[in-house]
Amino acid sequence: MKLRRWVTTATAVFAFLGLSLAGTASAQPEAAASGYVALGDSYSSGVGAGSYDSGSGDCKRSANAYPELWRAANSPSSFDFTACSGARTGDVLADQMGPLDASTGLVSISVGGNDAGFADTMTTCVLEGESACLTRVQQARDYIAGTLPGQLDKVYGAISDKAPNAEVAVLGYPRMYKLQGSCVLGISEKSRAAINAAADDLNDVTAKRAADHGFRFGDVRPAFTGHEICSGDAWLHSVTFPIDESYHPTAAGQSGGYLPTLNGIA
């Protein structure tokens, strides 16, 4: 009786262990998050770089934009390009975040320039003279210092919530002008310096908010140094037609400025 009870007990134990081991052997590790989602404004969609996807409409997503270049070089498991010309932080939240999920391994984004009134500031500076330009630039700088940090926090927090496994690369903005450069006509040197200072403010605030969310910040200013407007080898458009490409990176600015910066932090 004792031997029979031992055999019965041992058989049950071995059967249990066998099931457990079988279950362990059949369990598969979760696939690594490897999809890429490109969010942001016109500096990410590639306005100014040409070769626009006709299906992207007014968002003007370019085949020469840094997200497309990164995708071609790295072949992510999935790629969603939702960046759009004119996008502000609220637009990113409302319209661009649908593809983000646990499978997203990389998110890139540039945003904040439109919130600060970049387009209106440049229009004022070109059309209304130095005094109006300096006033409008100061308004932009006040917004960047006072209001933009909270707006960026909303976007960055939403990215973390929706794509918890993603590495997030936040890209900044170049300085627009080479001071004491080759430009003979155009806005005053004082206006150019003020615009550059606003770009520095925008980068500083963006970098701080990105760091506080555990994201990596890509500063494109070093890559664009020597390639600003008035440099003689500009990777940025001055006033162009169509007008919406004005003050945006060229295809060379995307491939030589933004892509290497993303590569350095992604």
How far out from the chain centre does Cα 200 lie? 17
Q: What is the pLDDT of residues 65-91, one digit of tens each?
A: 999 999 999 999 999 999 999 999 999
Q: Shortest CA distance to 202 belongs to which of 266, 145, 244, 132?
A: 145
CATH architecture of 31-265: 3-Layer(aba) Sandwich (3.40)
Nearest to 150 by CA among 92, 209, 95, 218: 209
How far apart CA 74 and CA 266 sit, in angstroms, is 11
| Domain spans of the chain, in order of start | 31-265
Q: Which residues are known to be catalytic?
A: 42, 248
Give pLDDT tens digits for 114-133. 999 999 999 999 999 999 99
Measured distance between the N- and C-terminal CA atoms of the chain, rounded to whole angstroms? 68
Lowest mean pLDDT among 8-17, 25-34, 43-52, 183-192: 8-17
